[in-house]
Copies of this chain bind each other. A is one copy, B any other.
Amino acid sequence: MKAVILAAGFGRRMGEKPKGLLKVGGREIIYRNMKLMEENGVDEFIIVTNRQYEGNFKDFLKRSGFKGKVLVNEDPERGNGYSLHIAKEHVNGKFVLLMSDHIFSKEFLEAAITREGAIIDGNPEFVDIREATKVKVENGSVADIGKGLEEWDGVDTGFFILDENIFRVAEELVTKKERVGMSDIVRKAKLKVSYISGLFWMDIDTPEDLKRARHFLIRNSIKGAGDGFVSRYFNRKISTRISELLVERITPNQMTVITFAMGILSAFVVFFSPSLGGVLYQISSILDGVDGEIARASMRTSRFGGYLDSIMDRYVDFAFLLSLAVVHGGATSFWIWTLLAIFGSFMVSYSTERYKAAYGKDVYKRIPKMRYLIGKRDERIFLTMIMILVGWVYALFVVLALITHLRVLATIYLIKKNMED
């Protein structure tokens, strides 16, 4: 399947820039949409723009490696319906049509690409209703469309699944009228309507819109399945704010290294001030969410990134607890508890990762009850900080040892109970 992307507008409210090439969360808007479409079976892209922005889009295509071409609408003032008309000779059969300045979530796009006609949102949560193009539906088709409709059933999402028939309607209008909007074509074609409601999409008209989109992408990038209570109700609130600030300034791998350095630093600081070390350790735990959030929001996830992050987390935990044990010191019994606590902390991670190695699936997704087991890293680190602050270091090792090994036992039990083989 091919996709036509209408990008002939001048983006005047964004300071005369091709809006599709604006970056949100570290990636151009059209990169995001094209990448998601590619993952869902679209293999060629036709971008219709104006003469002025032609070079920008050609550069983009070359840089990003997508298969496609750039067509020029020499008279962009004739409207985006006229831009569609220009693509006529370049598509056949079913194709996707979308606006270059609309941003769609993965969930929206995956659903939309399987539907037909005009995709409309009956319950738009992320757009300014006053600015939106409303659609009145009758018998499953567009009865009327426009910004000023009093009565409407949904909002035009700027995403369509069409076929060649649309070009006959476009042709007819283009020969009769000077200015032809997509709305004119949709109204005249009485396009079929498909509802996709409540999933994230929005159009970018102002710098304020860009910020809102970034905010959403970061919020939506929380993986979550393996998050403990501390992470869910505390760490993530802070890490997402940091991610919003950094997503366009730093790569996920750089962030992984910074977080690792922060964790190792916290272990060193323990020798001078265990309390300060504990606080820094908790800060490193908050930062630990940022690399993943940035990676997912900017479509830069890599398996190696996740791998390295896991290994480094283990080393940070080891370094911190080792420092703490050395500073505290004690008899053989103290060292036994230390060993049990450190070993238990690893076994928590090992017992879940090893599940994924064996079964190929995330244990938290397969066995939702696992989410309620305490002892995850974010919880252990928070507990560590608190117990250092109140001065109970020996007790900390005992508690960590008990929690972690009980958790491993519970994990084995739950897997055994839920297993297929």
Q: Which residues of A are in contact with B by a Cβ distance under 8 Å?
A: 302-304, 306-308, 310-311, 314-315, 318, 322, 325-326, 329, 332, 335-336, 338-340, 342-343, 346-347, 349-351, 353-360, 408, 412, 415-416, 419-421
Hey, which chain B residues are within 8 Å of A326, CB to CB?
332, 336
A270 to chain B, nearest CB (A): 14
A304 to B357, CA, bound (A): 11
Nearest B residue to A306 via CB reads B358
Hey, which chain B residues are within 8 Å of A325, CB to CB?
335, 339
Determine if B358 and A303 form an interchain contact, defined as CB atoms under 8 angstroms apart: yes
A340 to B360, CA, bound (A): 30
A416 to B326, CA, bound (A): 33
A125 to B315, CA, bound (A): 51
Q: List 23 A-B contacts (CB under 8 A).
A: A303-B359, A303-B420, A304-B358, A304-B415, A304-B416, A307-B358, A308-B412, A311-B350, A314-B350, A318-B343, A322-B336, A322-B339, A325-B335, A326-B332, A335-B335, A335-B338, A342-B342, A343-B343, A343-B346, A353-B353, A353-B357, A354-B357, A356-B357
Hey, which chain B residues are within 8 Å of A304, CB to CB?
358, 415-416, 419, 421
A81 to B196, CA, bound (A): 65
Contact of A350 among B335, B340, B353 (CB under 8 A): B353
10 closest A-B pairs by beta carbon, nearest first, are: A356-B357, A302-B421, A303-B358, A357-B357, A307-B358, A353-B357, A304-B419, A335-B335, A318-B343, A353-B354
A333 to chain B, nearest CB (A): 9
Hey, which chain B residues are within 8 Å of A420, CB to CB?
303
Interface contacts beyond A303-B420, A306-B358, A349-B350: sample of 11 additional A-B pairs, CB < 8 Å, sorted by A: A302-B419, A303-B419, A304-B421, A307-B355, A314-B350, A315-B347, A322-B340, A325-B335, A326-B336, A343-B343, A346-B346
Nearest B residue to A343 via CB reads B318
Nearest B residue to A357 via CB reads B356
Copies of the polypeptide in the assembly: 2
Which secondary structure dominates chain A's binding surface? helix
Hey, which chain B residues are within 8 Å of A332, CB to CB?
326, 329
A314 to B350, CA, bound (A): 9
Nearest B residue to A339 via CB reads B322
Contact of A307 among B336, B349, B354 (CB under 8 A): B354
Determine if B421 and A310 form an interchain contact, defined as CB atoms under 8 angstroms apart: no
Hey, which chain B residues are within 8 Å of A412, CB to CB?
308, 311
Determine if B415 and A314 form an interchain contact, defined as CB atoms under 8 angstroms apart: no
Nearest B residue to A315 via CB reads B347
Contact of A338 among B310, B315, B339, B415 (CB under 8 A): B339
Hey, which chain B residues are within 8 Å of A307, CB to CB?
354-355, 358-359, 415
